[in-house]
Amino acid sequence: MSGAYLYELPGTTPYGEALTIQQDLAGARSQQAIPDVVMLVEHDPVISLGSRAVPAEELLLAAVEYASRGIDLVEVSRGGRSTYHGPGQQVCYPILDLHERGKDLHRYVHNLEEVIIRTLAGQGLEGRRVDEHDFSGVWVEDRKIASIGVRCARWITTHGFALNVDFDLGVYDTFDACGLGGAPFTSVARELGRPVALDEVRPDLIAAFEQVFDVTFDPLPVAA
């Protein structure tokens, strides 16, 4: 079992700010200046477009209409297609050195899915994988509850996954999330039929990550 840092950002964080933090941490990790780090963050509303996104097909509104709804649009270098982030969604960004984990990106994504599945089990929900091309992530029956989009440069990972906890799922009517042709999305709250705070889910996620990746967390030292 190895040590790692856990960085829990308070409140909501703009997407660009979180991206800058990831890049700084990834640079430090690549220089072996820090151990692995896992960021847990809740974002301001944003639709991120990965390297395989087709905006003309996936964005169903004009940019000005997204802006009027308070939703930013950003293009990012992670894999995958279009994904929503916003308050009420738990986002997890692992900054890991895969040199020490077999340099196996497929296994890494599989392990992220396992973290999500175990997190859902802690809430009494049964998550599952869909073993088809372009279907990474986790589903509850036929409803997608978590999306995965990662970047790996020189075997240092950034980006990660987003678990829908409790927010207005109507946002998925405004774009073709993950390019899935309008597949239904859900949340922990929708499945349980009651409000669910992120603080209810985070302990299960942290424990699942420690188990799956065989790490023990310490808080990331942050200068005052």
Catalytic residues: 178
Please report the DSSP string for the chain in residue order.
-EEEEEEEEEEEE-HHHHHHHHHHHHHHHHTTSS--EEEEEEEPSEEEE-TT--HHHHB-S-HHHHHHTT-EEEE-SSSSSEEEE-TTEEEEEEE-BGGGGTT-HHHHHHHHHHHHHHHHHHTT---B---STT--SEEETTEEEEEEEEEEETTEEEEEEEEE-SS-GGGGGSB-GGGSSS--B--HHHHHTS---HHHHHHHHHHHHHHHHTEEEEEPP---
